[in-house]
Amino acid sequence: MILYILCLTLFCVGLYGILRKRNIIKIIVGLIIADYAVNLFFVLVGYRWEGRSPIYASDADILNMVDPLPQAVVLTSIVIGLATTALLVALAMRIYGKYGTFDITKIRELRG
């Protein structure tokens, strides 16, 4: 149970970073943290206590194995997170080049 609560806390830390920080880089870090919390949660869902990897060998007797699907799926999800983060960082660099600041309260060309 404590693991799930810690995972939720991690997610909330990420959301706090996205919503409350004014620095673009810190917002991106917040997004990464929230992303990791969701991935961690997915792996936790597939985990079994005392479980082992589901690899069948002739001499091994598997009684309790972890669910391998979330691990495969999370791998994909991590790669997607990487692509998004790379794009966000590239945008942040171009924004710094144009505005000379990372502070979102000073980057206000658009209304609303």
Partner 1 sequence: MIPQNPIVPFFVIIPLAGAFVTAFIGKRFKRLPDLLGFVSTLGCLLLSVAAVWLVRRGGVLVYSVGAWKPPVGIAMVLDGLTAFMLVTVNLVACLVVVFSVDYMKRFTSKWKFYTLFLLMLAGMNGVVATGDLFNLFVFLEIASVASYALVAFGTEKEELEAAFKYAVMGTVASLFVLLGIVFLYSYTSTLNMADMAVVLAAKGPSDIVLLVSVLFLMGFGLKAALVPFHAWLPDAHPSAPAPISAMLSGVLIKSLGVYALCRIFYNVLGMTPKVAELFLFLGALSMVIGVFLAIGQWDLKRLLAYHSISQIGYVVLGLGLATPLGVLGGLFHLFNHSVFKSLLFLNSGSLEHATGTRDLQKMGGLMEKMPVTGATNLVASMSIAGIPPFNGFWSKLLIIIAAVQAGRMGYAFWAVLASLLTLASFTKVMKYAFFGTARKAWEGVTEAPFFMRCAMVLLALICMAGGVLLVPGVREAFLSRAAADVMEGLHYGVSVFRCVG
The site map against partner 1 for 34-73 (x = CB under 8 A) is: xx--x--xx--x-----------------------xx--x
Pick the binder of partner 1 from 55, 83, 100, 105 (CB under 8 A): 83
Reduced to 3 states (helix: H, G, I; strand: E, B; else coil), residue 23 is: strand
Tokens of 33: 């943290």
Are 21 and 30 in contact by the 8 Å Cβ rule? The answer is yes
Are 38 and 14 in contact by the 8 Å Cβ rule? The answer is no
31 near partner 1 (CB under 8 A): yes
Phi/psi at 51 (nearest 5 deg)?
-80, 160
84 near partner 1 (CB under 8 A): yes
* Binding piece for partner 1, criterion CB under 8 A, among 30-38, 48-56, 57-65: 30-38
Tokens of 47: 């985990």
Are 107 and 22 in contact by the 8 Å Cβ rule? The answer is no
Site for partner 1, rule CB under 8 A: 18, 24, 27, 31, 34-35, 38, 41-42, 45, 69-70, 73, 76-77, 80, 83-84, 87-88, 91-92, 94-95, 98-99, 107-110, 112
